[in-house]
Structure 1
Amino acid sequence: MATIPKPATVLERCRVAPAPPPNGSDAAEHPQTLPLVFSDMVWLHFHPTQRLLFYKFPCSKDHFIEHIVPNFKKPLSQALKHFLPFAGNLIYEIDSGNIPELQYRPGDSVPVTVAESNEASDFDYLSGDRPRDAGEFYAFFPDFPPDKIESGWKKIPLLAVQITLFPDTGICIGFNNNHIVGDASSVVGFIKAWSSICRHGGDEEFSSATHLHPFYDRSVIKDPTGLLNNYWNQMKHVKIESPPLNFPTNKLRATYILQKSDIQNLRNLVQAQKQDLVHLSSFTITTAYVWTCLAKSSAAAGEEVAADETEYFVFAVDARQRINPPAPATYFGNCVVPAFAESTHSELKGKNGFLTAVGLVGDVISKKANNKDEILRGADEWLAKLGGMIGKRLFGVAGSPKFDLYDADFGWGNPNKYESVGIDVDGSMSLCKSREFEGGLEIGLSLPKKKMDAFGDVFCGGLKITEQTS
């Protein structure tokens, strides 16, 4: 494994500001502020969210600089006029104790890095599925500019973007965003708007598609029990955050595929043995299977885990249509709530571990997703519960098949590969639709080599067994 990320040569650093709004509006000419709501505050100290999209698009360096880059920046500017918060900052008055807020001010902009990979052959390696050195992906998305302190106010940037040329091979777009600005629904909505504007050579089509425009009215998120103040009083004194990532990462990144037939075989296995389980979605089946495979592979990976040690599984549930009253589908911000399942190590790695995991995950989803009275149950204890899991056997999910980026076409065709880089830090799996198999799912993992090898053996071996018994 390499000890440092392979370098990419920076060709340009610039900033892109929102374009003037249409119809004579002066919206971008005045400060705009968005208050945080309780579902934002959960993510205040969360690590940045980093995404990479790889596009197979052979072009020369001259064509890249003269045509691709300008036609990348202008649509970004046009997209930002609809999504002003991305160009702004999280701000708070350092000594006041007041709740932070999102603010856009005229002149704010998004930092953009233009780069060239030093080795064109890396494209096929990086955009593959097999295990690859996790550290090699860090040359392809930008770091955030440092926080600023001005007149007693702290300003924290929310988005940075990089476009990298692999000469005569392809292009990679790297996104680095602060989770406080929005969840996957909001961020993916922005990326798709930007790609649509880029593909169509202007924002006329997106501007006319008002049903896709972000909804900014925070008053739709009701907080009758004062969760926002509760969370802020906890967060301003104690940071709940993941440990920093060091290099070398000593991790490999790999993608595993569950085809539609694999998911159905696993579902058949459950239905044959536990007919009372009713919530058997692809998400439930997939996450339960991966959670179980991690537990079953622990011994072969050299881990010493006590039989009664708790295994935690945490995932986010989109609450837009589940809160009362519902929020619009295009509500901009964080409108997800954490859901928790837990078992013991011996239960998950045992003969019926998969059945146990499916039952636990399905039960949580059934309660959270199908009962509006349950969506916020226990919310006053969420932060303490999450904080108590740090450093323990915690497994999570980044992304969702609902928010698919494999159709984010910037004019170079659909992506060849999507990578969620943030899973290097928090031990989550990434999850998205398969780019190759209709009805299939892609699972991204970042693990030490010994653990990755052990997981792969259990994962593939389990699928062979279910295929033979179906």
Structure 2
Amino acid sequence: MVSHPEVRHISRCSIKPEFVSEESKQRFHLTPWDLSLLSAHYIQTGLLFSKPIATNDPSITIIDNLKDSLSRTLVQFLPLAGHLVTHKQEDPPSYSISISLDCKNTPGVEFMHAVADVTTSDILSPIDVPPIVQSFFPLDKAVNHDGHTLPLLAVQVTEILDGIFIACSFNHVVGDGVSYWNFFNAWAEICRTINGKQDHISCPPILQRWFLDGHGPIINLPFSHHDEFIDRYRPPVVLRERYFHFSSQSIARLKAKANTEDNTSTISSFQALSALVWRCVTRSRRRLSSHQKTSCRFAINNRSRLNPPLSPDYFGNCVQPAGADATVGEVLNHGFGWAARLLHDAVSGHSDSKVRESLEAWMRSPLIYQFRKHFDPSSIMMGCSPRFNMYGCDFGWGKAEAVRSGSANKFDGKVSLYPGREGGGSVDLEVNLPAESMTALESDPEFMDAVSPSQHQTH
């Protein structure tokens, strides 16, 4: 039997903000976008770096610097140091959830230091993501509602033989992908300037939550117990997880092809790539009938779509799902540009008025997303974004080698988009499919003709 490498935990501690003023101790109310994610998993994304050079002072380790800079960063990202609280009232009946910050009675941020006898090549060279990567992430299987008793942010720093992996499990109720990467970049910024003790960050977060006029800040949910809306979903089959690289030239060709086929110039790179994935993944699911419904969903950032717009530094959730529906036969029998047009229309129709209408509808009938109910194995969900500044996270050791994610929020048809390391509009796709469907995708000419060689894979 082949033995697999294991992650060994060296230490564990709680990191709290360097200081919290009395006026900062408060209750952070949650919006419909925040509350709708109570049953989803934490965001789990991390960065792999080459082995950092030791600090000039041998008494100060890289781990010390990461802890110190994290404590300083939390001063500006206070909700991450809090915990969820449920407020119930009998008369009149009410059930609300918020973030409470009281540094004397709060878990703070969990920080773990670990080691593993693997190399960068062991992580990046295999065709499928090796299982050890999931062991780099804390709070496995936790759903966001668990933030009542678990920390809202947990960090694991794993030293490997020739590098270091920084992984965060970030409660999705606290913020979306934009918020996550704003935090990660702020932490890196403070860490790389820590010798000068600078706590300034380029993009301070805006912590004040945005609510629809006439609603909030306290939102009462129509529940009496969390068992009514929590579903601890795990995929019913083992999924293969693989990365596919698309160079900027390949993305440009896809965009040009989609626009040519649809006789337009308005289809974006994201819409073209998503249409390709929708078509090819649908084709790889060979048991689907032509009349079966399928959809391509993605999360739209509402910050710039609201009128007036919210700041890019708004800290919280400001995304909602959108997408297109069709039958399997329509997606496969029409051209590539047809599918891209459907996705373009879904994005262009996502206006300020539509956002507000959807929030009004949510207030009338609150919905907590559950994978089992709201995602089906004939559809795909495009998550994350290649616009996030992942490779700009410089802790003082230079650019990361790669982005990888944990097991959270993964199911048949979940696809995550990351920027390619070389930049320039290149994209890495993380695709999760059952083995049979992944094998079919790997032999799909339309898909593989668009895939570019990866600098990491040797196969």
Q: For the superposition of Structure 1 and Structure 2, which TM-score range results when normalised by the shorter chain?
A: 0.7 to 0.9
C-alpha displacement at 1:227, in angstroms?
11
Deviations 1:259-296 (A, max 9, x none): 122122122222222114x5311211111111111012
2:282 match: 295
Q: CA deviation at 1:458?
A: 1.7
1:141-152 → structure 2 map (5 Å cutoff): 141-143=137-139
Contact 1:55 1:416 in 2 (8 A): yes
SS in 2 for 1:132: coil
Matched, 1:337 2:320: yes
The separation in 2 between residues aligned to 1:192 and 1:361, in whole angstroms, is 30
* Mapped contact 1:80–1:86 kept (Cα < 8 A): yes
Match for 1:413 among 385, 398, 414?
A: 398
Match for residue 395 of structure 1 among 380, 384, 395: 380
State how far apart, in whole Å, the 2-side matches of 1:446 and 1:9 are.
27
* 1:231 to 1:402, Cα distance in 2 relative to 1, 3 A: farther
Q: Partner residue of 2:306?
A: 323
* Structure 1 counterpart of 2:110: 111
Say which is worse superposed, 430-439 or 229-238, in terms of deviation. 229-238
Partner of 1:310: 293
| TM-score normalized with structure 1 length | 0.83
Q: 2:42 aligns with which of 24, 33, 48?
A: 48
Q: Distance in 2 between matches of 1:269 and 1:312?
A: 21
Match for residue 233 of structure 2 among 243, 249, 274? 243
Q: For 2:270 and 2:343, locate their aligned partners in 1 and report how far apart those are by CA, in whole Å.
A: 9
Which of 186, 199, 213 is the matching residue for 2:179? 186
Cα distance change, pair 405–174 in 1 and its aligned pair in 2 (3 A): same
In structure 2, the residue matched to 1:173 is 166
Give 1:406's aligned amino acid.
Y
> What is the SS of the residue equivalent to 1:313?
strand
What is the CA distance between 1:460 and its match in structure 2? Answer: 6.0
Q: TM-score, normalised by structure 2?
A: 0.85
**Conservation of the 8 A alpha-carbon contact between 2:205 and 2:314:** yes
Aligned residues of 1:252 and 1:448 also touching (Cα < 8 A): yes
Query: Share of identical aligned residues, percent?
Result: 26
Q: Distance in 2 between matches of 1:139 and 1:243?
A: 19
CA separation of 1:67 and 1:365: change in aligned 2, threshold 3 A: same
CA contact (8 A) 1:308 1:344 kept: yes
Superposition map of 1:40-439 within 5 A: 40-57=34-51, 67-93=61-87, 97-107=94-104, 108=106, 109-117=108-116, 119-121=117-119, 123-128=120-125, 130-133=127-130, 135-143=131-139, 154-167=148-161, 169-201=162-194, 205-207=198-200, 209=202, 212-218=203-209, 220-224=210-214, 229=219, 238-239=228-229, 241=231, 243-244=233-234, 250-276=238-264, 278-299=265-286, 304-350=287-333, 352=335, 354-368=336-350, 371-379=351-359, 380=361, 388-421=373-406, 422-425=408-411, 427-439=413-425
Specify every segment of 5 or more residues in structure 1 that has no aligned partner in the other structure, as ranges: none
Structure 2 contact 40–409 (Cα < 8 Å) conserved:
no
Partner amino acid for 1:430? S
Contact 1:312 1:393 in 2 (8 A): yes
Cα deviation, residue 461, structure 1: 5.0
* Rounded Cα–Cα distance in structure 2 between residues aligned with 1:273 and 1:455: 23
User: Which deviates more, 183-192 or 341-350?
Assistant: 341-350
Whether contact under 8 Å (2:239, 2:411) holds in the other structure is: no
Q: How does 1:10-25 map to 2 (within 5 A)?
A: 10-20=9-19, 25=21
| CA apart distance, 1:207 | 2.4
> CA 1:70/1:385 → structure 2, altered by over 3 Å: closer, same or farther?
closer
Gap change, CA 1:420 and 1:144, over 3 Å in 2: closer
Q: Which residue of the partner structure matches residue 456 of structure 2?
A: none
Name the CA shift for 1:5/1:206 in 2 (closer, same or farther; >3 Å): farther
Q: Secondary structure, in 3 states, of the residue corresponding to 2:238?
A: coil
Q: How far apart, in 1, do the equivalents of 2:451 and 2:95 lie? A: 57
- Determine if contact 2:288/2:378 at 8 Å carries over to the other structure: no
- Which whole-Å CA distance do the structure 2 matches of 1:5 and 1:85 have between them? 38
Distance 2:18 2:155 in 1: 17
Pairwise CA distance, 1:418? 0.4
SS at match of 2:86: strand
The number of residue pairs the alignment matches comes to: 437
Instruction: Give the AA of the match of 2:118.
Output: A
- 5+ unaligned residues in a row in structure 2: which ranges? 453-459
* Partner Cα distance (1:208, 1:297) in 2: 46
Query: Letter of the aligned partner of 1:101 in structure 2?
Result: S
Contact 1:243–1:425 (8 Å) recurs in 2 = no
Q: State the 1:399 CA deviation.
A: 0.9
Matched letter for residue 356 of structure 2 = L
| Equivalent pair of 1:398/1:423 in contact (CA under 8 Å) | no
CA contact (8 A) 2:246 2:426 kept: yes
Give 2:375's aligned amino acid.
I
Separation in 1 of the partners of 2:15 and 2:368? 40
Q: Please state whether the residue corresponding to 1:283 is helix, strand or coil.
A: helix
Which amino acid is the alignment partner of residue 171 of structure 2?
A: N
Distance 2:201 2:447 in 1: 50
Q: Is the 8 A contact 1:309 1:345 kept in 2?
A: yes
User: Distance in 2 between the 1:84 and 1:128 partners?
Assistant: 38
Q: Could you tell me whether the CA contact under 8 Å between 1:48 and 1:179 is conserved in 2?
A: yes
Q: Is the 8 A contact 2:323 2:347 kept in 1?
A: no
